[in-house]
Amino acid sequence: MGIDSIRRDYEQGSLNRDQLTDTPHALFEQWFAAAIQSADTPDPTAMVLSTASATGRPAQRVVLLKGSSPEGYCFYTNYNSRKAQDLDENPQCCLHFAWLGMERQIIIEGTAERLTDAENDAYFASRPRQSQLGAWASAQSETVASREALDQKFAEATTQFATEAHIPRPEFWGGYRIQPLRYEFWQGGRARLHDRFIYERALSDQGQHLWSISRLQP
């Protein structure tokens, strides 16, 4: 079978205007709760983060959602990593949730801001000890001579904090909140007639944040 003949139809559902919530985060919460419960979505928190450098060079990678509210969507990383450097140079970015087993996708465009030290400390303290040690061991996005060299760094971190009941958060490690400006909700449809709705953020004459809703052609 050639690549050009691999296809399937989308038949699990539809998305109509009367199913939408007034605010996009409320609909996100509905879909996210369904993704958590679905056996077809083994990694419901996985999301593609798209960034661009100050010169416009794009990059994508999968990160994990670790916080969700109407104010934004959070993840954590090494502040010296490529993604962090991109976001510090150019905070405009995009998140993409692809729950393909449910024939659903969500795209969130917005701007990134660093989380506070208090938020970073609280989340780091909740991580498994091995993950905390990994944060100290890895100079994320930098080259490394070999796997053995990386394992050696992990062993050194393990020894360094062997007597510590609580491992401190590295100053170079923390999170970002992506403040949403535009959402797209995509539900696969038969004959490639997918249902797509966008929420776009705007300000009212009174300075209040409002969301406009539009249907897009597939």
Q: Which of 104, 192, 196, 215 is catalytic?
A: 192
Q: Which residues contact 42 (CB under 8 A, 6 or more apart)?
A: none
192 is catalytic: yes
The runs of H, that is alpha helices, within the chain are 24-37, 82-89, 117-126, 129-137, 147-160
How far is Cα 71 from Cα 191, in angstroms, rounded to an integer? Answer: 36
Tokens of 97: 């949730």
Q: Which of 196, 209, 143, 131 is nearest to 169 (CA)?
A: 131
Tokens of 162: 């062997």
Q: Which residues contact 133 (CB under 8 A, 6 or more apart)?
A: 154, 157, 158, 161, 167
Tokens of 129: 């000890």
- DSSP reduced 3-state for 165: coil
How far is Cα 112 from Cα 73, in angstroms, rounded to an integer? Answer: 9
- Return the active site residues: 192
